[in-house]
Amino acid sequence: MSSPGKEIIHLDNLRKTYVMGSEEVHALDGVDLSILQGEYVAIMGPSGSGKSTLMNLIGCLDTPTSGGYVLNGNQVGDLSEDELAYIRNREIGFVFQTFNLLPRLTALKNVELPLIYSGIGVSEREERARESLDLVELADRVDHRPNELSGGQRQRVAIARALVTRPTILLADEPTGNLDSTTSMDIMKLLNQLNKNGNTIILVTHEKDIARHAKRAVVIRDGKIISDGSTDTLGEETSAIASTESTSYSHSEDPS
């Protein structure tokens, strides 16, 4: 593991603009952000503020309209598609807001998926996938398909899949959005443990209780960072934002 404190993610005036007919939507409107190795960052903000867009860019799934992104010292814009695939496979674990599980595959096979592309053999793959599902306490649901699982269980499968490659950076888009408070706490304990082990974690959440597990909170609104600081200072200004959102608003997830 490289020395803690090294800058691992650097965003420089990052913009993502969607053109809808004559209208331009600035999902990200000039984001500057620097995240150090081993940091634990919560990203907060109202619905539609650009959190998922930011996560997709950091996760090398999407490309910015303009601006720079340096990951581990590499300009992401200069990387080839194969190099990006490699990074998505080995460096980054991504928990999607909408899970993105494959409906035809069992929980176990879904979790194994990234390892197929790491070239890991069948038996080791299965073993690691089981371990990972064990971590999220789904050992008894390995043979269920996503549509045979509850929303929270699907979310945990998605987390297990993100962890199975032992990524250095974990990106989690509302990983506890569908979980009751007890399970949420278990998941947060897991993330805390991962962070203690040196993993960089970025998580999107609406809940201050969840955000408090992180050491740093970045708040965005309308594609701009409006506050960035220690979670201890998560005070009135952010609670105002949070209160405009129902913390239990439901997502219209696809079962996949």
Ligand X SMILES: Nc1ncnc2c1ncn2[C@@H]1O[C@H](COP(=O)(O)OP(=O)(O)OP(=O)(O)O)[C@@H](O)[C@H]1O
By the rule CB under 6 A, 200 interacts with ligand X: no
By the rule CB under 6 A, 125 interacts with ligand X: no
Read out DSSP for 89-115?
HHTEEEE-TT----TTS-HHHHHHHHH
Classify residue 145 as exposed, middle or buried by CB count within 10 Å of its CB (0-12, 13-18, 19+): middle
Q: Of 52 and 195, which CB lies nearer to ligand X in the complex structure?
A: 52
Residue 156: name its binding partner from ligand X, Mg ion, another protein, none (Cβ under 5 to 8 Å by kind): none
Tell which one of 8, 9, 14, 27 touches ligand X (CB under 6 A). 27
Q: How long a stretch of residues is the chain?
A: 256
Residues 110, 101 contacting (CB under 8 angstroms): yes
Specify the stretch interacting with another protein by CB under 8 A; choose among 58-66, 140-148, 149-157, 193-201.
58-66
Show the binding pattern over residues 69-98: x = contacts ligand X (CB under 6 A), - = does not: ----------------------------x-
Q: Of 38 and 50, which CB lies nearer to ligand X in the complex structure?
A: 50
Q: How far is the CB of 9 from ligand X (least distance, A)?
A: 17
Residue 251 has a CB neighbour count (10 Å cut-off) of: 13
Q: How far is the CB of 83 from ligand X (least distance, A)?
A: 24
∠18-22-26 over CA atoms, to 5°? Answer: 30
Residue 4 has a CB neighbour count (10 Å cut-off) of: 11
Residues 41, 226 contacting (CB under 8 angstroms): no
Q: Of 107 and 220, which CB lies nearer to ligand X in the complex structure?
A: 220
Q: Of 14 and 142, which CB lies nearer to ligand X in the complex structure?
A: 14
